[in-house]
Amino acid sequence: MKKTLLLLGAAFAATTAIAAEPVVYQGAAIMQLSPNGRYGVSAYGDGNIEIFDFEKNERVTFTCSEDGGNPYYGSGLGNGISNDGIVVGSTTMQGNAAYYYNGEWKTLTTPANENLINSPNGITPDGSRICGNIGNAAFGLESSLMCIPAVWNRNADGTYGDYVLLPYPDKDMFGEAPQYVTAISISEDGKTIAGQMVDNRGFYTEPVIYTEGADGKWSYTMPIHNLYNPDHLELLPNPGEAPAAPDLESYMTADEIEAYNAALKAWQDEGTWDYSKYPNKEDYLSEEGKTRYKAAMEEYNVAYQAWMEKYEEYDNRVREILAASPNFVFNNVLLSADGKTLGGTQEAEDPDAIGGWGPTPSIYTPTLINLETKELTKISSLGSLQATCLVDGGILATTGLMSEAVVAYVLKADGTGQPLYDYLCAKSPELASWCKKNLVHNVEVYDAELDDYVVKEMTLTGLPFATADMGIITTCTQAVWEDWDFYTYYFNMAQLSGVDNITASHPAVVKAVGGIIYVEGDVESLEVYDLAGKLIRTVADPGQAVDLQLGHGAYIVKATCSDGATQSIKLAL
């Protein structure tokens, strides 16, 4: 473990009339934030992980073994950081279940079989419950299901108890055993968990919601299963595995097998590896054996052809149903804190690209599902995008994954949106100037018409993540414009909004200490806004001190004096 004190400078200084600059973390790809924005995790699948405490200005690094063994670190796939810095993940290549807290990694209970892959993925803000996947002990000959959903509950002494399996669908939409049933993200109260079911063949992914009732019992629902197979096409029976071809050796006598093995050894000992002289088993088979083997092959060919006809009919029907059904990107599961909104990304084949060589390109569409009304909203007006995290009233998304020149977007639930670059630049002229300097680069790209590489100015904002109120925003990208290193940009919006402190010449004084506002002077009212400009609270005749009782996030408090003058301060909780 390596702990580094971050030199964040003005980004964590006291609020002044001059907005602070965003912070740039080189070598980091922060793709998770705690709900309160204090902690972040950088992990991109190479066995290393970094945990950031922005409040203490610390960056803790855990590196994998140099010999390719353990330790090998990974982070959870969902909302995997609590508000007090618990990070769920793993410390082995086999994928054990573990969590980090207060400088130490500890393991969670899992099945005894070390060959099973386990994955804790989400944790409640208070750390009381963890959700994740447990390797299915029956996987193999008994079942094709690789993992199943589970939770770990925290004990009074701070440790976590044995895993508790959640109920789950044991059949996919075609009546077969699924490949995966997962638990990825968890609500603030820990009573709602979102995951996915992947069908037997691995082609179709459908959301699953687990809910804990008042009696403590868990149940599951498939919230948009009614949208599957909208044309109500008949499900055809699965013809099963193809018939096995006859084994030639089973038609040979022991002496014939011995003669063949001797010839094979002589060919190997010769060492020329001349495959024109490689011994053929049929040459060592008696005439009677050849006759029986030929008859068996003819019978097999007839059976195989009949099976193939049924399989192609079955496969075509499956593909027809899947093409008309909503299919989601695997492990892209986003759940709101109140457990009422599910976010993710739908994936469909690009109809304009079908017919070429290789896999058919996909079109990606960020999607919101109201879990109370089961209403599904696709946000497709800005092209193919993949969702990264939920925010109040919308969702953040990106044009692609790392290793590409990617652009981040802020999308609203009504289907509208804008590039993250535009959203940031609108906050203040100072922030717009910084974004122009740091997020716009000259990149060498391939021009198909010229059949050559050209230099093009591009805005690169990468993969965006944020707290629900957008008070803290991070976005990570690879420097395709120079060294291909990872960079994360950290925006504390309370310090970057461009709103000045209270005017010193005015007789009234308004100060914030935590969530309490202290007032000196003739202040008639206080108004509290979020960083999007939405009024969230009004206090008339505030007196000398007011506890605003606000949740974690960034706010602007506006004071109106009796003479009509208005003054504002920034507040970060």
**For 129-184, how does the pLDDT look when each residue is reduced to its tens digit (9 = 90+)?**
999 999 887 666 567 899 999 999 999 999 999 999 999 999 998 888 999 999 99
Q: Tell whether the torsion through CA atoms of 66, 70, 71 and 76 is positive or negative.
A: positive
- Give the pLDDT mean for 521-527: 83
d(CA 573, CA 554): 6
Q: How far apart are the first and last CA of the chain?
A: 30
Q: Are 83 and 34 in contact (CB under 8 A)?
A: yes
Let me know the angle formed at the C-alpha of 39 by 81 and 152, rounded to the nearest 5 degrees.
Answer: 15
Q: CA torsion 74→77→82→83, rounded to 10°?
A: 110
Query: Which candidate, 544, 520, 543, 517, places its Cα nearest to that of 528?
Result: 517
pLDDT of residue 548: 77
SS3 per-residue string spanning 196-258: EEECCCCCCEEEEEEEECCCCCEEEECCCHHHCCCCCCCCCCCCCCCCCCCCHHHHCCHHHHH
pLDDT of residue 294: 95
Q: Tell whether the torsion through CA atoms of 270, 272, 274 and 275 is positive or negative.
A: positive
Higher confidence at residue 352 or residue 63? 63
- Distances in Å between the Cα of 502 and the Cα atoms of 508, 512, 528, 564 are 9, 11, 14, 14
Strand ranges in 431-553 using DSSP code E only, listed in sequence order: 440-447, 452-459, 463-466, 472-478, 486-492, 509-513, 516-520, 523-530, 535-540, 545-547
Percent above pLDDT 90 for the chain = 63
pLDDT band at 85 (very low <50, low <70, confident <90, very high): very high
Global pTM reads 0.80
pLDDT tens digits, 366-406: 999 999 999 999 998 888 999 999 999 999 999 986 556 78
pLDDT band at 359 (very low <50, low <70, confident <90, very high): low
Q: Are 541 and 524 in contact (CB under 8 A)?
A: yes
What DSSP character marks residue 282? Answer: G
pLDDT at 17 over 50: no
Q: Which of 326-340, 404-418, 422-436 has the highest mean predicted lDDT (pLDDT)? A: 326-340
pLDDT of residue 346: 96
Q: Are 145 and 170 in contact (CB under 8 A)?
A: yes
Which helix (H) or strand (E) segment is 87 a member of? strand 87-90
Range name among 11-15, 68-72, 135-139, 270-274 with the lowest pLDDT average: 11-15
Range name among 109-118, 268-277, 501-510, 529-538 with the lowest pLDDT average: 501-510
Strand ranges in 351-407 using DSSP code E only, listed in sequence order: 362-370, 376-378, 386-391, 394-398
- 49 backbone φψ class: left, alpha, beta (φ>0; ψ -120 to 50): beta
Q: Which of 109-113, 171-175, 299-303, 523-527 has the highest mean predicted lDDT (pLDDT)? A: 299-303
d(CA 483, CA 476): 15
Query: Which candidate, 47, 49, 56, places its Cα nearest to that of 80?
Result: 49
pLDDT band at 542 (very low <50, low <70, confident <90, very high): confident
- Give the pLDDT mean for 291-320: 95
pLDDT of residue 308: 97
- 358 backbone φψ class: left, alpha, beta (φ>0; ψ -120 to 50): left
pLDDT at 561 over 90: no
Q: Which of 133-137, 303-307, 481-485, 522-526 has the highest mean predicted lDDT (pLDDT)? A: 303-307
Q: Are 107 and 98 in contact (CB under 8 A)?
A: yes
- Give the pLDDT mean for 85-97: 92
- Give the pLDDT mean for 254-264: 95
Beta bridge partners of 475: 464, 489
Average pLDDT, the chain: 87
Higher confidence at residue 250 or residue 380? 250
What DSSP character marks residue 168? Answer: -
- Give the pLDDT mean for 464-487: 92
pLDDT at 461 over 60: yes
- Give the pLDDT mean for 115-121: 89
